[in-house]
Structure 1
Amino acid sequence: MPDSPPEPVFRERPVSFVVRSGRMSDGQERAWAAYSDVYLLEVPRGNAVWSVRAGSAIDPAVVWGREAPLIVEIGSGQGHQIIHASSSRPDVDFLAVEVFRAGLARTMRDAAEAGAQNLRLVEANAPEVLEHLLPAASVDELWVFFPDPWHKSKHNKRRLIDEEFAAIAARAVKDGGMLRLATDWEHYARQMRTVLDDAPGFDRAFEGDWAERFDGRVLTAFEQKGARVGRSIRDLAYRRTTGADA
């Protein structure tokens, strides 16, 4: 049985997630016990919950045992997207970033069943993964699909995509690499677009108001639910500007 999540320690900046209570199912606990040593990266912690200690950068070539393109998904949930991608693209390395253990456990189980040997998972706050765990200019693509919209005005400050995140992402993504985003909340989509249009180190990789739907994104039940209630799905794509100072 995995250890319980640590007790909260507050940060100066609010995080973009909330802690979900409750125990994992027996099946999830078995998956964690069976596969965490294979898939889950050990993370040196700072003082806060799911933090990453500064100076803890990994060497992707050592972690994955090879030199290959690296794709990182933030907020991988139960792993539907990352497992589809990693199992269909064995020549690429993948990292899933998530804080919910039940989702991580299911992802590990399904990855093992799919034979996805090129996937690793990390249980940590995403901006700290980009800033402290991943070396600068090590990511070929960074995916942020359907992050929590925090749609109440008083909670907008907890949204993941802001100027600080854009700067951290620009550090992690290599020159010519891609940042891909999607959301079904119009207000958040426009905020994302405004932030990234103004972000040093990124240029639009689309014409018009919105990017075409990324064909590498699987159609999940979550996305279908948003469409059923009438929310438009908005994609955005930005290329890391070669030689830009972020």
Structure 2
Amino acid sequence: MTDQETPQTDENEVANTEPKEEKRYMRKVRSFVKREGRMTNRQQTATDTLWATMGITYSNEMIDFAAVFGNDNPVVLEVGFGMGKSLIEMALNAPEKNFVGIEVHGPGVGACLADAGDAGVTNLRVLNHDAVEVLEFMIPEKSLSTFQLYFPDPWHKARHNKRRIVNETFIENMRHKLVIGGLVHMATDWEPYAVHMLEVMNDATNFKNTAETDYAPRPDWRPLTKFENRGQRLGHGVWDLLFTRTC
């Protein structure tokens, strides 16, 4: 909101207009910033040609996963898949599961569609929208077997911590979308964010840590990314958290 001088009005005008103005300028704190680069020809072509079969357009209606995939296989939801390489690898390695990926950046969605098309993946669908809104308005209760969040923006500056996607409200909303016994799998290479994630999950109701210690070893189903491999060579740590919904 800009610092503009407010015209003087009488008290009745203020009473009638102030709530409307507050609503007009209210902005939701988001966990991401769109730095949308230009899509390559390949990414744009994939978006244009494959969206009808692999894309799910945002709407305020619950997704019927059985209708979307044509089966009742367990559904894995990943938030923030980047360029989609690890998500595609997981989908290829687990044809008995259905995978849904959410990503706000168009070029990443286009790259994922292009690679998935080349690989012949059929058990993957993608959304290009804010994950918080998708989770709230499109994912039915007890419809997910697994929720995945890998290397989200840690918003490491203290004044930006409020933008972290992992918070009490998000986790509670996500819990209702999981089946009983459903899995939450999160990973980060930023230790303070790992501590934050662990605190939020430990404080959340009806979740149990599956690890013998606070953090779990990387499970086989989470592929190593080039970024992670590079970090390991440089001695950087990665922290995985695995929790299940108990009730």
TM-score bracket, shorter-length normalisation: 0.7 to 0.9
Report matched runs for 1:60-75 at 5 Å: 60-75=65-80
2: CA distance, partners of 1:173 / 1:225: 33
Partner Cα distance (1:202, 1:169) in 2: 11
**In structure 1, what residue type is equivalent to 2:116?**
A
Counterpart Cα distance in 2 of 1:107 and 1:186: 28
RMSD over aligned Cα, in angstroms? Answer: 1.5
Pairing 1:215–2:226 present: no
TM-score normalised by structure 2 residue count: 0.87
| 1:10–1:141 distance in 2 versus 1, CA, 3 Å | farther
How far residue 229 of structure 1 moved from its aligned partner, in angstroms, is: 4.0
Tell me if structure 1 keeps the 8 A contact 2:42–2:114. no
C-alpha separation between the residues in 1 aligned to 2:218 and 2:50? 33
Amino acid of the residue matched to residue 134 of structure 2?
Answer: V
Going by fraction, where is helix more abundant, 1 or 2?
2
Contact 1:137/1:175 (8 A) holds in 2: yes
The residue aligned with 2:54 is 39
Which amino acid in the other structure matches residue 158 of structure 1? R
Across the two proteins, how many residue pairs are aligned to each other?
224
Partner of 2:127: 122
Q: 1:231 to 1:94 in 2, by over 3 A?
A: same
The unaligned stretches of length 5 or more in structure 2 are: 1-23
Q: Contact 1:143 / 1:179 at 8 angstroms: preserved in 2?
A: yes
Specify whether residues 159 and 62 from structure 1 end up closer, same or farther in structure 2 by C-alpha distance, changes over 3 A only. same
**Which residue type is aligned with residue 210 of structure 2?**
A
Among candidates 28, 41, 62, match of residue 43 of structure 2: 28
Distance 1:21 1:105 in 2: 12
Query: What is the aligned-residue identity percentage?
Result: 38
Compared CA separation, residues 10 and 42, structure 1 to 2 (3 A): farther
TM-score (norm 1): 0.87
**Partner in structure 1 of residue 210 of structure 2:** 205
- For the pair shown, which has the larger CA radius of gyration, 1 or 2? 2
Partner deviation per Cα, 1:158-197 (whole Å, 9 max, x = no partner): 1110101110110111100000010000000000000001
Partner of 1:165: 170
Amino acid at match of 1:218: P
Letter in 2 for 1:69: P
Retained in 1: the 8 A contact 2:83–2:109?
yes
- Gaps of at least 5 residues in structure 1 are 1-8, 45-52
Q: Which amino acid aligns with 2:241?
A: L
Q: Secondary structure at the match of 1:150?
A: coil
Shift of 1:230: 3.3
Measured at CA, do residues 157 and 62 of structure 1 come closer, stay the same or move farther in structure 2, by a change above 3 Å?
Answer: same
- Deviation, structure 1 residue 237: 0.4
> Is residue 198 of structure 2 the alignment partner of residue 183 of structure 1?
no
**Pairing 1:236–2:247 present:** no
Query: Match of 2:174, as an amino acid?
Result: A
Other structure's SS at 1:143 match: strand
Q: Residues of 2 paired with 1:57 and 1:195: CA distance? A: 27
Deviation track 1:131-172 (CA, whole Å, cap 9, x = no partner) reads: 211100100000001001111111111111010111011011
Stretches (4+) displaced over 2 A: 9-13, 224-231
The answer to whether the 8 Å contact 2:186/2:242 transfers is yes
| Residue aligning to 1:90 | 95
2:3 paired residue number: none
What is the DSSP-based 3-state SS (H/G/I as helix, E as strand, rest coil) of the residue aligned with 1:227? helix
**CA distance in structure 2 between the aligned counterparts of 1:77 and 1:155, rounded to whole angstroms:** 21
Q: Partners of 1:231 and 1:154 in 2: how far apart?
A: 24
Q: Secondary structure at the match of 1:86?
A: helix
- SS of structure 1 residue aligned to 2:135: helix
